[in-house]
Amino acid sequence: MKHRSLNILFITCFTWLAISATSSLHAFAASVKNAGMGLTGAAHAQDALTAAYNPANATAICDRADLGLFWDHYSGKAINSGSPVPTANGSFNGTTKRDFYSPDFGINKSFCFCNYQFAVGIVAYNRDFLKTRYDRPIVLLGTTRPGVEIIREQISPYVAVKFDPNSWCDLGCFAGQHSLGLSVNVIGQRIKVDGLENFIRTSIDPSFVTGNEYSYSYGCSPTIGWRGEWCDWLALGVAYTPKTHMARFKKYRGFLADRGRLDVPERVLTGIAINYFPCSTLAFDVEFIGWDRIRALANPFPATGPLGTSTGAGFGWRNQTIYRVGLDYQVLDCLTLRAGYRYGKSFIKSSQVAANVLTLETVEQYVTAGATYQWNCFEFSLSYAHGFKHKISGPIPAILGGGNVTLQEVRDVVGFSVGYNY
């Protein structure tokens, strides 16, 4: 009975997150405070969701809990031209549903044991989200309205410890406080694919290509983090998450390469936080995402093998390196302002634009702003991010009749959170 209750709780948490998930600045969004600073968080710890970026950051914050909500409003479309099929040309709205919501939650508790400072807690947030739904069928793809939805939600319990290696021996340049952190990432994902009837005959499993409602998959992986404080005004952070092996999507084993397997890519995050000036922090992060090891995403279109095999067609994504910079300034004892910028070249290659009619993930640049007001033990935070419109153009493969297609997208994300220091 006890195990059954735990299973129900686990499924309920994932369902709550998945129902309201949003893409929020690509890859992931956690913490309204960090979102206001361009999503910098490798070395700059601000609230109980800091372990979503680097679990070692948890020793740098107090005992607190944070609950946030992001609202994502975005618009994207595909513009086809030059196709010999007249009805295939024109502008197609790929975001008929433009508003999505995503909650996040974190709680942190610190304690001392044997002269070491420990921190334990848990964070829950949206790891990835992608959703398109077109306003009408695209005859090159199928007979119904095409679209794809991929959601990943993550719940991560963690532990971190802070220590001073110079208490053991004189390590010179390693002077200062250092923290190590480990989180266990429990990931749930779901997918839904529609409007690809023209590809059924090219699949190894024609019944599991399109129109099969939602399919679910789960997996688990660790994140290892380090944070070093060399002096009062300088901190560095590094976090690494290996590729997460996920269970296969059984309902779409005829669509996704490797019989429905959609793993979560590895991530390397590094960053620096500088508090040289009073009441202000400047943070800079670099993140690498290894999409090329995920066959369902990295395999090119057209492909050498049938749809659903290990060499079957994917989306042709390339690896990403994302740069983020953020600044906060404490204007008053109770008021802090933030600003940031984020740039990451799209994972969509120009040669693979046709396949990515289903994804529309083209935005590369964001500017962000935010603020926090503190009232007694409570904090109220706001953030805003604008993703600039960006277009990517490329050819339509000959097997679809030829021509050209242009993808474009623009988005705005607003976040609100409440924090409590206990």
Over range 347-356, report the average pLDDT. 94
Can you give the pLDDT at residue 366?
A: 96
Over range 65-73, report the average pLDDT. 93
Candidate from 36-40, 153-157, 173-177, 311-315 with smallest mean pLDDT: 173-177
The C-alpha atoms of residue 420 and residue 422 are separated, in whole angstroms, by 6
Beta strands 234-241 and 64-81 are: unpaired
The SS3 call for residue 358 is helix
Who contacts 195 (Cβ-Cβ below 8 Å, separation ≥6)? 134, 137, 138, 141, 142, 143, 144, 145, 146, 147, 210, 211
Who contacts 334 (Cβ-Cβ below 8 Å, separation ≥6)? 373, 374, 375
Smallest CA-to-CA distance from 123 within 71, 163, 181 is with 181
pLDDT(291) > 60: yes
* DSSP-assigned letters across all residues of 25-47: SSS-B--HHHHHTTT--SS---S
pLDDT(8) > 50: no
Q: Which two tokens stand for residue 373?
A: 């007001």
pLDDT(4) > 60: no
The backbone torsions φ and ψ at residue 402, rounded to the nearest 5 degrees and listed phi first, read: 85, 175
How confident is the prediction for the chain on average, in pLDDT?
Answer: 90
255 neighbors 261 (Cβ within 8 angstroms): no
The C-alpha atoms of residue 85 and residue 96 are separated, in whole angstroms, by 24
* Domains of the chain, start order: 2-421 (2.40.160.60)
Q: Model's pTM, two decimal places?
A: 0.90
Q: Give per-residue pLDDT as tens, 316-334.
A: 999 999 999 999 999 999 9
Over range 278-297, report the average pLDDT. 94
pLDDT(128) > 90: no
Q: Cis peptide leading into 306, omega within 30 of 0? A: no
Can you give the pLDDT at residue 168?
A: 58
Over range 147-167, report the average pLDDT. 89
- Select the more confidently predicted residue: 209 or 16: 209
Per-residue confidence at 238, pLDDT binned at 50, 70, 90?
very high
